[in-house]
Structures are given as structure tokens and as C-alpha cells.
Structure 1
Amino acid sequence: MASAWIEKLNKAQKTCMIQDGRRKIHFTFPDGTEMAEEYDLKSSELIVRKWKKKAPLGVKGSQWEYEVGEQLLPRNLDSEGMLESAANPIFVRKDTALSFQWRIRNLPYPLETYNVTADPENRTITVRTSNKKYYKKITVPDMDRAHLPLEQNSLSVAHANNTLIITYKKPKEILQMEKEIQEEFKKLKASKDGDVDCTPS
């Protein structure tokens, strides 16, 4: 089923550029949904994947939603003068070549506090703490797009520097799909100073 995702990418309108050591690709799908990805030029590892849904007529454009990576913004006061606590848990996905990986910062509890389980039926990974201080359900859109089940034995957990690190080993189907996608990207022309249509060279 992974081929369906590759087919969807192939049908999308694409622009790409090389900038700051990254290959940046912008996709516009037939329904108006946009996706932007950034890959490390040397390792081909995915650094950012974000989505923007088409806004209804007369509505201001929607915000980018990050699937991988994070939006780096200065921490300013919001419209009500409230500053988000720097101690709140911060959830971000940062993948490696062989794994999906999530980092939850500002979780000071020792490793044995956390219970991280794969729920194949609901297609989520659940994080619980024995002290009931933190609870989160994590979706894995890549596995959903490839229609692959989540498996507990692919999960591992570590804790360091007040950060919980959850790693899910990519199945061979995902690795093969990513390899095929990278081969397609290498065929695209990319501008080094601005966007161009991505057409095979």
C-alpha cells in the first residue's frame, strides 16, 4: 500500500530548492492541501514535514502544522500578555534514518516512571506516567499512509537531560518506500536561489 503514497506524491505539483544544506520541496495536492518537506542534503534524512489545509473561501489561510520537526519562534508575549511556561512538556518528532523518533522535553521523572505502549487497534502509541503527571497519544502518519500495523517490539524508550526519547524502528516497507521517494527526488531539478517547478532532469 506504500505505493499509493508515492503515487500521490507523484501527482502533486512540486517546487524545490537547495538552501542552507537542505533540499526543500513544496507539494500542492489536487485538493489544495500543501505539504513542505526539508531533507539534509548529505544524509537525505527528513528534518521537517509540515502540512497546510486549504482554507475555505473568505477565511484567512490556515497555519502550518508540523508532523516532523518544529517551528522555531521567539518566545513573545501573546495578545493577553501571558507567556507560556518554559517548564511545560514540549513534544517534537525528529526522525533518524532507521527510526521514527519523538522527544518530549521537560519531563524530569526517571525512566521507570514511563509506560509507553503501542495500540495496534487504535493505531497510536500511548505515553503514561505512573505518577499521573503526563499522558499523551502519539499517531504515526507514515505507518497509517502505508497501512502498516504498530508493533510493541519495535518500540524503545530512553530518558536523558529531562527528555523522554521514544524510538520506533521503521519496518522494511517504510525503508523501501523512503528509498524510492529519495530516488525520485534526485531526478528533480532544484534551484539554489529560488523556487522552480520540479520536473525530471
Structure 2
Amino acid sequence: MASAWIEKLKTAQKTCMIQDGRRKIHFVFPDGTEMAEEYDLKTSELVSRKWRRKATLGVKESKWEFEVGEQLVPRNLDSEGLLESAANPIFARKDTALSFQWRIRNLPYPIETYNVTVDPENRTITVSTTNKKYFKKFPIPDMDRAQLPLEQKALSIAHANNTLIITYKKPKEILQMEKEIQEEFKKLKAAKDGDVDCTPS
């Protein structure tokens, strides 16, 4: 339920700061999982959300995984060896106030090539192409956390500048939940360019 997610956020340990026109909030949940979010101060829109699971014993700190926004990877050869080709499709989520939105860059095919469908049972969206050049399945974690069903009618696609744009209209329950979360954030004390424990003022 949406309210269960809000309660989880309320009980997490929070640190927040205002920096570069963004409200940055770092959450630590009781199980050690961390979540970091950044919101645009003017619009309150979510710019990025990333997660870090608690590292298992004997393992170095685990990497951040992006749910919203994308990791800017330096273009150099690292210990993992070869870089991905710059021409490979790049998948990233960038939401708007009223929609969840994903952009898949480096997909040059015309819009009729793409088949984008909701699988309500498996709670995923599937993107495939008629030329068999691209295939991806992905969930909407926000909808999972709120335990809301996925519907095909909420989905739309567009294609421009070699980028496929997939838009899923946020249901009213999500909009209400996001509004409540923003109200909670307004109660937090935030440091300017410095960390501070977010105790409600």
C-alpha cells in the first residue's frame, strides 16, 4: 500500500541538504539499505533516485543502482576491461510531474518498429522491435511499492532524435502519495551545502 511506503520513509534515518538548486535526501532503512533522492527545488520533481543494498560480509561497499536518472560513467578503460560502444542503446528513467518516463537513446528505427506492452501479471513493461534488434523488460518500482496494477491504457510512446520515449501516466494514488511525501520533506530541516540530520522542525 502507498501508506506503507510513506511510513517506511518516515521511520528511515534521514540526512538532507540543499545544494545546486536541489533538495538531496539520504535515507538509511533499518535493514541497512540506503536510498538517495534528489528533487528540483523549484518544481519538486524527482531528478534522481538510487539504491545501495547492504554489502554482504567480506564484500566491499556495494555499488549504487539507479532507479531514476542515470549514472554518468567516465569514458575510460577500467578494471572491467572494454567500454560499451557509444552507439549501444542507453536506457534511463526521467519522470515528469504527471508521468513515469523512460528514454532509450540510440534507437534509430521508425516508431512503427516498436512494440511496447504492459504485462499485468508479471508487473513489467516489455519493449521489443519488429526487426529483433532490441528487447527489454522493466518494472515500475513505484507501482510495486504502492501495490497498484499496471494498465496498458496508461502507456504511450513517442520517437524523436533516435530516442524512444515511453510514458506511463501516474495514477491518482501515486500523485497523492507524492504530494504527501513532499509535505513530509517540507517539515525537514536541511543544511545549505552541508549535511544535517533531518529531524522534523
TM bucket normalised to smaller: over 0.9
Of the structure 1 ranges 56-65 and 75-84, higher mean CA displacement relative to structure 2 is found in: 75-84
**AA at the equivalent of 1:73:** V
**Residue equivalent to 1:187:** 187
Alignment size in residue pairs: 201
Cα offset for 1:58? 1.9
Map of 2:162 onto structure 1: 162
Q: What percentage of residue pairs aligned between the two structures are identical?
A: 86
What is the deviation of 1:82? 2.0
Measure, in 1, the Cα distance between the counterparts of 2:52 and 2:117. 30
Q: 1:130-172: per-residue Cα shift (whole Å, max 9, x none)?
A: 0000000011000000000000000000000000000000000
**TM-superposition CA deviations, 1:60-114 (whole Å, max 9, x none):** 0000000000111221113365232001000000000000000000000000000
Correspondences of 1:89-100 after superposition (within 5 Å): 89-100=89-100
Partner secondary structure for residue 173 of structure 1: helix
Alignment-derived partner of residue 61 in structure 1: 61
Q: SS state of the match for residue 144, structure 1? A: helix
TM-score, with structure 2 as normaliser: 0.98
Unaligned stretches of 5+ residues in structure 2:
none
**Distance in structure 2 (CA, Å) of the matches to 1:97 and 1:69:** 14
* Cross-structure match for 1:138: 138
Residue 175 of structure 1 aligns with which residue? 175
Distance in 1 between residues matched to 2:86 and 2:186, nearest whole Å: 40
For residues 80 and 168 of structure 1, what CA distance do their matches in structure 2 show? 35
Q: TM-score normalised to the size of structure 1?
A: 0.98
Q: Which amino acid aligns with 2:55?
A: A
Runs (4+) off by over 3 Å: none
Instruction: Give CA deviations for 1:160-200 in whole Å, capped at 9, x if unaligned.
Output: 00000000000000000000000000010000021111011
Asked whether 1:28 is paired with 2:50, we answer no
Residue of structure 2 equivalent to 1:121: 121
- For residue 176 of structure 2, what is the amino acid of its counterpart? Q
Uncovered stretches (5+) of structure 1, i.e. residues with no partner: none
Query: 1:26-49 deviations in whole A, cap 9, x for unaligned?
Result: 000000000000000000000000
Q: Is residue 12 of structure 2 the alignment partner of residue 17 of structure 1?
A: no
RMSD: 0.8
The equivalent residue for 2:5 is: 5
Shift of 1:56: 1.6
